[in-house]
Structure 1
Amino acid sequence: MKVLVIGAAGMVGRKLLEQVAASPDVLGGDIDALTLVDVIEPTAPEALASVASCKAIDLSTDGAAASLIAGRPDLIFHLAAVVSGEAEADFEKGYRVNLDGGRALLEAIRQEGQSAPYRPRLVFASSVAVLGAPFPEKIGDEFFATPLTSYGTQKAIMELLLADYARRGFLDGIGIRLPTICVRPGKPNAAASGFFSNIIREPLSGKEAVLPVDDSVRHWFVSPRSAVGFFTHAATLDLSKVGPRCNLIMPGLSATVAEQIAALETVAGSKAVSLIRREPDPVIEGIVGSWARDFDPKRALELGFTAEDDFEEIIRIHIDDELDGKIGA
């Protein structure tokens, strides 16, 4: 099996590769060739080095997508994106990367199939940002996509294209509408949702974190571990059970900022909580205020996707996976 991972240097891409390295059969077969791509050259885990080819490529540049698809990968993970805050701040970059690059990938697949039969599986990283207010108390699978951010709009357009290219038989597609991934390891990024991780990750390491929104803000979360599980499950799922509505809301956990902080105090104590500094940011508040807060992901659950049950579990996963079980604070 040939596998292509676009966005392999990002957090989800790296963790996906770690999971594949640890469990070689997780994608449903032996990997003969693994192509890893990002705007900076990714690194393959040692266990995959013998089959991996790592490339620094911007998918939105002319010919980039066609060059990747020329090798006819059987399974493609499209994880690359300009994140929410950056897509809102840089309109042109957001559309170039999140839409133009993705459209080029779909077209490259279609055109490759014109010379000889070719129908790969494409697993696309979408977002619950495709949905926009006003929201019901719980959002079900039938709720329509009316995004209120540029990022959400770009993801929603890609979802429609993915479904249409799948309907036409050019590929087998499935879109994963990710909750906010928390706790994200590493340094803060440009995502408007970044503070949700910052107020947990930084205090756990004994560092101060800024909270730009009110404690009452409610959001939809999943751990990096479960997010990777979504993609590996989607890679092997019987898509006949999914049907034409191939973009799925993923399971997650609905929690307020206050509940996040309470879970942090339970796990790490009051000293960690004291490192959170409240500093309201109207721009961030405006973006986050347009996002969904709670879901009923019935279809995904029926298809076998799973996530955490409480926020303490999410914090403990971060401590185990990123801090070797130790709390710096």
Structure 2
Amino acid sequence: MNILITGGAGFLGTLLARRLLQRGTLCGQPIDTLTLTDLHPVADPGLLADPRVRRDAGDLLQRLDSLMAGDHDAVFHLASAVSGECEADFALGLRSNLEATRRLLEALRAQQARTGQAPLFFFASSVAVYGGDEAVPLPPVVRDDTLPTPQSSYGIQKFICEQLVADYTRKGYIDGRAARLMTVSVRPGRPNGAASGFLSGIVREPLAGIDAICPVDPSTAVALSSPDTTIAGILRVAEASRAEFGGRTALNLPALSVTVAEMLQALERSAGQAVAARVTVQPDAAIARIVGGWPSRFESERARRLGLPADASFDAVITQFRALAR
């Protein structure tokens, strides 16, 4: 099996690649090659040492013709401009999220016409597809049948891409599955441009002895998922049969609902009051507006039927991060 991961040098792309190589199979088939493409080259030593790994670096739109010259049995499309970037630069979001996905789907349609086989396609969507609209208010609990009403450019781009994946699947060009990922916390590494980035930073930085800023009111409730839970969800969705996945609509992965204050309390329980005190609340209206518009409570019945649980607690999430950071 030949697999392509876009965003393969990023945090989730690297974790997914490691997990796939450890397993050695996808959908019961042995992995022959794993191509990792990203704006910057893959640097993970373990991945580089594996003979199954192929590296590709550069702008995805510019690299697509070369990338898709060969056939791929499965594609995990994780590459994306993030929420804060898309709100600040409208053209960037359209190009990186919408046009790159459309072009990738078109390349896979051409592959299906050439080979007669519909490749597996996983699309990483986001809970940013939900938001409160005057005509359709956001309910207190988001369920599988809740109507998405995005309130950010990023969320709208993700929702459009979900519909493209559904239509290409309906037409038989791909075997597509879209899953809406929760904010992943705690992420290691450097901060990115996501509006939700502080939900990792308020834990990661204090544990490293660095001061951190919380740009929202601590009473703000959010929906989170640990890295391990997120990767498990991606793989389960990718390997589910069409009947198990249930239709073509994007699936909400399970969420841990928690307030920012509860996150900071868990940090204090894990590392002590002095560490938790490194976080200072400095409200940022733009970030608060984006994050405050996202849902914080989910009932994901489709995910439950796939055997996917949410994280047990944010204490467990911090324990996972500290073990990973050692």
| TM-score (norm: length of structure 1) | 0.94
Equivalent position SS for 1:81? coil
Q: How far is 1:230 from its partner?
A: 1.4
The equivalent residue for 2:9 is 9
Which residue is equivalent to 2:66?
Answer: 67
Tell me the distance in 1 between the aligned counterparts of 2:48 and 2:66: 26
Q: What are the residue-to-residue correspondences of 1:38-49 with 2, within 5 Å?
A: 38-43=38-43, 45-46=46-47, 49=50
In the alignment, is the contact (CA less than 8 A) between 1:167 and 1:244 conserved in 2? Answer: no
The answer on 1:196 being equivalent to 2:190 is no
Measured in 1, the distance between the counterparts of 2:155 and 2:282 equals 26
Q: Specify the alignment match of 1:243 in structure 2.
A: 246
Summarize the Cα distance change of 1:116–1:28 in structure 2 as closer, same or farther, 3 Å threshold.
closer
In structure 2, distance between residues paired with 1:25 and 1:47: 18
Q: Residue 292 of structure 2 is aligned with which of 289, 296, 310? A: 289
Specify whether residues 200 and 137 from structure 1 end up closer, same or farther in structure 2 by C-alpha distance, changes over 3 A only. Answer: same
- 1:25 aligned residue: 25
Q: Which amino acid aligns with 2:56?
A: K
Counterparts of 1:85-104 in structure 2, within 5 Å, are 85-104=84-103
Any conservation in 2 of the 1:87–1:151 contact (CA below 8 Å)?
yes
Q: Which runs of 5+ in 2 are unaligned?
A: none
For residue 117 of structure 2, what is the aligned residue in structure 1? 118
* SS of residue in 2 equivalent to 1:36: strand
Tell me the distance in 1 between the aligned counterparts of 2:86 and 2:269. Answer: 35
Select between 105-114 and 47-56 the one with higher mean Cα deviation: 47-56
Which of 180, 184, 188 matches 1:185? 188
- Residue deviations 1:242-288, cap 9 Å, x none? 23234100001000011111111111111111100111111111111
Over residues 200-220 of structure 1, what are the superposed CA-to-partner deviations in whole Å (9 max), with x where a residue is unaligned? 111111211001110110010
Q: Equivalent residue of 2:113, what SS?
A: helix
Residue of structure 2 in register with 1:266 after alignment: 269
Q: Name the residue aligned to 1:168.
A: 171
Alignment of 1:145-156 (within 5 A): 145-156=148-159
Give yes or no for contact 2:87–2:152 (8 Å, CA) kept in 1.
yes
Q: Note the alpha carbon deviations across 1:5-45, whole angstroms, 9 max, x for none.
A: 11101110011112223332365321112211111122463
2:282 matches 1:279: yes
Alpha-carbon distance in 2 for matches of 1:234, 1:278: 37
Query: Is the Cα contact below 8 Å between 2:112 and 2:119 reproduced in 1?
Result: no
**Stretch moving more, 313-322 or 25-34:** 25-34
CA contact (8 A) 2:47 2:53 kept: no
Task: Say whether the 8 Å CA contact 2:236–2:306 is kept in structure 1.
Answer: no
- By how many angstroms is 1:114 displaced? 2.1
Give the whole-Å Cα distance in 1 for the aligned partners of 2:28 and 2:189: 30
Aligned equivalents of 2:161, 2:55: Cα separation in 1: 25
TM-score between the two structures when normalised by the length of structure 2: 0.94
Q: Cα deviation per residue 1:274-324 (whole Å; 9 max; x = unaligned)?
A: 1001111111111112111111011111112233111101111100112x1
RMSD, matched Cα: 1.5
Aligned residues between the structures: 321
1:46 and 1:112 map into 2 onto residues whose CA distance is: 27
* Contact kept in structure 1, 2:77 and 2:123, CA below 8 Å: yes
Q: 2:81 & 2:309 partners in 1: Cα distance?
A: 26
SS in 2 for 1:54: strand
User: C-alpha separation between the residues in 2 aligned to 1:46 and 1:289?
Assistant: 37
For structure 1, the residue ranges without an aligned partner over 5 or more in a row are 325-329
Is the Cα–Cα contact under 8 Å of residues 70 and 112 in structure 1 kept in the other structure?
no
Contact between 1:27 and 1:232, CA under 8 Å: does it hold in 2? no
CA distance in 2, matches of 1:140, 1:218: 17
